[in-house]
Structure 1
Amino acid sequence: MTSITSPRAQFGLILPSTNTVVEAEFNWMRVDGVSWHTGRIYIPDPELDDDASFVAFLESLRTEIGVAVRNVVTAKVDSLVMGMSAETFWGGKDGAAEFARWMGELSDGLDVTTGAMACTMALDVYGAKKIGVITPYQPVGDAQVRDFFEQIGYEVHDVHGLKCDSATSIGDVTPEEIKAAFRAVDAPDVDVIIQAGTNLPAARVAAEMEQELGKPVIAINTATVWAAYRTNGIMDKLDGFGSLFSEH
């Protein structure tokens, strides 16, 4: 429900306890009359230094996600927003749909905006056919991201994973490292470049790279905020975060 301080919408924001980027970037993109209310998913072990630890990390989330949702819905939020992206891509098209359905079930029927859903909405806006993708993930995570995008109909030119060795170190990747990753997955016939991994500080970097590369470059936090707004009737446009928010 809306409130005195948030007459347009109150969003429940679900993110890992290790994440230091989502709240900052989401608040950069907060418009008047809305608010973010965080439910944190407890992460006991942030190590992600190989495929096995990455999978174990995701498997441990399920119980803790339920606790985070249980807690945040007591604020009577209007809808849920996932501030974690890996889980939303897992299992391809069907896995992404099942995850969104499960989140809605946990929250007693609230609408849910996920990273996978947001990227799909953004790509539809641009009519993209061929994409490049960057992530902070290990190869097993990159494969899941590739499978998702291919299953929803996109040709994936390349997925460049930064192989960050812990959930917290993702937030320490520098703008220059992120720019280099974006350049690595570009090609003349790539229509749009997407970034996954919500703890990767890419919202403003992606907007800069859009100017350099001359094509849409979409950070997942930007796409997620944009999708949450648009699906809740909030049509404000913002400058500084790329063409997705300033033009669509």
Structure 2
Amino acid sequence: MLKSTRVNPRLPLETLSPAGRIGVISLATDFNIEADLQRMYPQDVGFFTTRVRNVNPLTIENLRTMAPGISAAADQILPGTELDAIIYACTSGTVAIGVDKITQLIHETRPGVPVTNPVTAALAAFECFSAKRISILTPYTEAVNAEVAAFFSDQGCDVLNIAGFGFEDDTAMTYITPQDIADAAIENCDPDADLMFISCTALRASLVLETVEQALGIPVVSSNQALAWHSLKLAGYDAGVPGFGRLLGEHLK
């Protein structure tokens, strides 16, 4: 029998990802979420991904078809291993299914684990900046944008405007270039906004957050940046992460 000189089967699990273990439920078609989290999470925080089936075109009705698969997806993340938080990584899907329903579905198989999602994380970020008046940029159609705007309005936000690229294919959304995202965010941000929110885990917005913040002079929050920030807080991590906007850089403590 071969013996490894490098693997210690008695190595305590606590030494693996010692600052936090985050479960991620991603859409089956999302090219971007893992790359974004890999960039933003510190090296001593680990994330572990499973995927839930979704269908195109991206409509509110189709987004709701993900709900039956969420419990099983949560159960598939390192079974028998404690997690510090679980992320459901779809902004429009959370709007369509509902925050409470998603948490309930995850807790059916992973009871007691803190749960976050892009809209819960975004709302916590808005509160962190005391931001009430927001502009929103999305890759979605007008119909989906109307639901997103209504959701945030119902949560007490003053949605000054919402602009979308008009995409119906979740896979194609990742092909929107970071430069196009930055240009659209700057062009469509209302001058009276306290904060710009860039919605959708498939968008590569994390690469241009600081550029847009510098241009606008206000905080800029994206779905994946908010997820990284909120899940780190749930895991008890409080050191700033530079390079991805004011939220991660200044507001983890």
Q: TM-score, normalised by structure 2?
A: 0.88
- Where does the alignment leave 5 or more consecutive residues of structure 1 unmatched? 49-53
Q: Percent identity?
A: 27
Q: Distance in 2 between matches of 1:102 and 1:130?
A: 32
Classify the secondary structure of the residue corresponding to 1:110.
coil
State whether structure 2 residue 70 is matched by structure 1 residue 69.
no
Aligned to 2:133: 130
Aligned to 1:55: 60
Q: Distance in 1 between matches of 2:229 and 2:67?
A: 26
Contact 1:196/1:220 (<8 A) preserved: yes
Contact 2:241/2:248 (<8 A) preserved: yes
Q: Distance in 1 between matches of 2:53 and 2:78?
A: 17
Aligned to 2:5: none
Contact 1:10/1:37 (<8 A) preserved: yes
| Distance 1:139-1:73 versus aligned 2 partners, 3 A rule | farther
State whether structure 2 residue 199 is matched by structure 1 residue 196.
yes
Aligned pairs (5 A) from 1:25-174: 25-43=36-54, 45-48=55-58, 54-74=59-79, 76=81, 77-90=83-96, 95-174=98-177
Q: Distance in 2 between matches of 1:188 and 1:59?
A: 34
> Which segment drifts farther, 135-144 or 211-220?
135-144
Contact 1:134/1:161 (<8 A) preserved: yes
State whether structure 2 residue 35 is matched by structure 1 residue 24.
yes
Give the RMSD, CA atoms, in angstroms. 1.8
Classify the secondary structure of the residue corresponding to 1:10.
strand
Question: What is the number of equivalent residue pairs in this alignment?
Answer: 239
4+ runs deviating over 3 angstroms? 45-48
Q: TM-score, normalised by structure 1?
A: 0.89
- How far the C-alpha of 1:2 sits from its partner, in A, is 5.6
Q: Distance in 1 between matches of 2:225 and 2:13?
A: 23
Contact 2:71/2:108 (<8 A) preserved: no
Q: Distance in 2 between matches of 1:187 and 1:62?
A: 34
Matched residue type, 2:139: P
| Distance 1:129-1:67 versus aligned 2 partners, 3 A rule | same
Query: Cα deviation per residue 1:38-96 (whole Å; 9 max; x = unaligned)?
Result: 011123x4333xxxxx13431321222222112115152232012221122236xxx32
Aligned to 2:24: 13
- Where does the alignment leave 5 or more consecutive residues of structure 2 unmatched? 1-11
Q: Pick the aligned partner of 1:211 from 205, 214, 239.
A: 214
Matched residue type, 1:23: E
**Larger Cα Rg: Structure 1 or Structure 2?**
2
Contact 1:18/1:46 (<8 A) preserved: no
